[in-house]
């Protein structure tokens, strides 16, 4: 087998190694996206509230 083919085959353990790395990548990406999304949403909410407060004064 060529270098890349052998690497992807993981000595026959490909069906276990790659899903494990895939799960890790997915968990990290989902956590990051969820955390950043929540942060930006709250930031926008606060800015909108502060603008409203200034208009009232």
Binding site for another protein (CB under 8 A): 7, 10-13, 16-17, 19-21, 23-24, 27-28, 30-32, 35-36, 38-39, 42-43, 45-46, 49-50, 52-53, 56
**Angstrom distance (rounded) from CA 38 to CA 15:** 34
**Angstrom distance (rounded) from CA 51 to CA 57:** 10
Q: In the complex, what is the shortest distance from the CB of residue 31 to another protein, in angstroms, rounded to a whole number?
A: 5
Q: In the complex, what is the shortest distance from the CB of residue 48 to another protein, in angstroms, rounded to a whole number?
A: 9
Residue 6 DSSP SS3: helix
Q: In the complex, what is the shortest distance from the CB of residue 45 to another protein, in angstroms, rounded to a whole number?
A: 6
Tell me how far the alpha carbon of residue 43 is from its chain's centroid: 19
């Amino acid at each position: 087998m060529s270098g890349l083919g052998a690497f992807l085959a993981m000595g026959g353990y490909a069906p276990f190694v790659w899903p494990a790395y895939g799960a890790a990548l997915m968990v990290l990406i989902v956590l990051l996206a969820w955390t950043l999304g929540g942060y930006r949403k709250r930031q926008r909410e606060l800015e909108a509230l502060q603008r409203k407060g200034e208009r009232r004064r």
